Amino acid sequence: MGVDMGEPRGTHVPVLLERCLELLDPALGLPGAVHVDFTLGLGGHAEAVLERYPAVVLIGLDRDTEALAHARHRLIRFGDRAHLVHAVYDELPRVLDELGVPAIHSGLFDLGVSSLQLDEADRGFAYSQDAPLDMRMDQSRGSTAEEIVNSYEPGDLVRVLRQYGEEKFAPRIVQSIMRERAKVRITSTARLAELVKDAIPAAARRTGGNPAKRTFQALRIEVNRELEALEGAVPAALDALAPRGRLVVMSYQSLEDRIVKRALTARSRSTGPVDLPVELPGTGPSLRLLTRGSELPSDAEVAANPRAASVKLRAVERIDEQEQARRFDKQFGAGRERPRLAGPSRGGTP
């Protein structure tokens, strides 16, 4: 890219960079390693991977065309080792098919709103700055937050605020929105934030930060269908992982983390009978958990990067099922018919 784009406003500090690289290191060192950054953003994590692992090929996905432009400028020096694609992360199967990549060896999700989207006031993500009520991560398509706020039926708005924002004052907020939009269209983040603040009881406004936070989160998730995309993206990423491949996911709110936890836990448990000394091939877990529950940031990390304050990190490794089969054959004899037994399954529900 021949034009100097300059730096976006704000300081971009990749969240938990060293911990992510530590967890991904064994996979990034595999022969012919392909790394997918599912949420490329401004390219901070991607740049570190390409710098430290000279043999790795990167596939970077982002739905935000502005973020992609900045990332291309940042990563241009890595040439054909970096393939940057305008796509939502649940479109991974299509992207891999188009690139002719059969499997990936490592992957990273850094969910939520990117630094660029928060720092650029005109994107409409920040309730602390006045801007058009947009909130689209991909400004080339889809409905804006303004369209949702001004066109959804009251019941649908209440559902969005409750489901995606866990907002207990959703009915009061929606009543305030309905009264306002009956008089004039709601078009700005500042006006919406004011309506939310006025709708919430004074006692509740004194704790928990900005009272508009949950409403803005809910609208952002609805606008970008974030949870729907995540429901498909994590299984797709796990399906694409090569044996000994690793995946790290960083989420910033409980709804995201719940989806991630469910997907990872389901594949880390056996489906075989509980009374066998070893796993039957095909019944063992396909993932090994690398973190005990979700990891939280250290005080030092939060001090250096306040946006890491709410992060929850989970990581897994794809188990080599061929190696499992070899261990079975070594213990019970190669070629022996593997028993098919009925019985209770291991684990239980996720």
Residues 141-169 pLDDT 10s: 899 999 999 999 999 999 999 999 999 99
- State the pLDDT at residue 279: 60
55 and 192 in a single domain? The answer is: no
Q: Is residue 240 in a domain? A: yes
Residue 81 lies in a domain: yes
Reported as a pLDDT band with limits 50, 70 and 90, residue 349 is very low
From 223, 254, 271, give the residue that closes a domain: 223
Residue 45 labeled ligand binder: yes
On whether 209 is known to bind a ligand per the annotation, the reply is: no
Mean pLDDT of the chain: 86
Residue-level pLDDT at 13: 80
The pLDDT, as a whole number, for residue 38 is 98
- CATH code at 25? 3.40.50.150
Residue 66 domain-assigned (yes or no)? yes
Give the pLDDT band of residue 4 (cuts 50, 70, 90).
very low
| Listed range (195-204, 241-250, 323-332, 336-345) with the worst mean pLDDT | 336-345
In a domain, 170, yes or no: yes
Tell whether the model's pLDDT for residue 40 goes beyond 50.
yes
Check whether 110 is labelled as a binding-site residue: yes
Residue ranges making up the domain that contains 201: 137-223
Least confident of 69-83, 110-124, 182-196, 244-258: 110-124
pLDDT of the residue at 116: 62
286-340 pLDDT, tens digit per residue, is 999 999 999 999 999 999 988 899 999 999 999 987 655 555 555 556 555 543 3
Q: Model's pTM, two decimal places?
A: 0.85
Question: Do residues 26 and 171 both lie within one domain?
Answer: no
Residue 322 annotated as part of some ligand binding site:
no
Q: Which of 88-97, 140-149, 199-208, 234-243 has the lowest mean pLDDT?
A: 199-208
Last residue of a domain, one of 180, 200, 223: 223
Q: How many domains does the chain have?
A: 2
Residue 89 assigned to a binding site: yes
Q: Is 97 annotated as a binding residue?
A: no
| Residue 180 confidence (pLDDT) | 97
Q: Is it the case that residue 1 has pLDDT exceeding 90? A: no
Q: Is 43 annotated as a binding residue?
A: yes
Q: Which residues pair with 250 in a beta bridge?
A: 110, 313
At 249-278, the pLDDT tens digits run 999 999 999 999 999 999 998 766 666 666
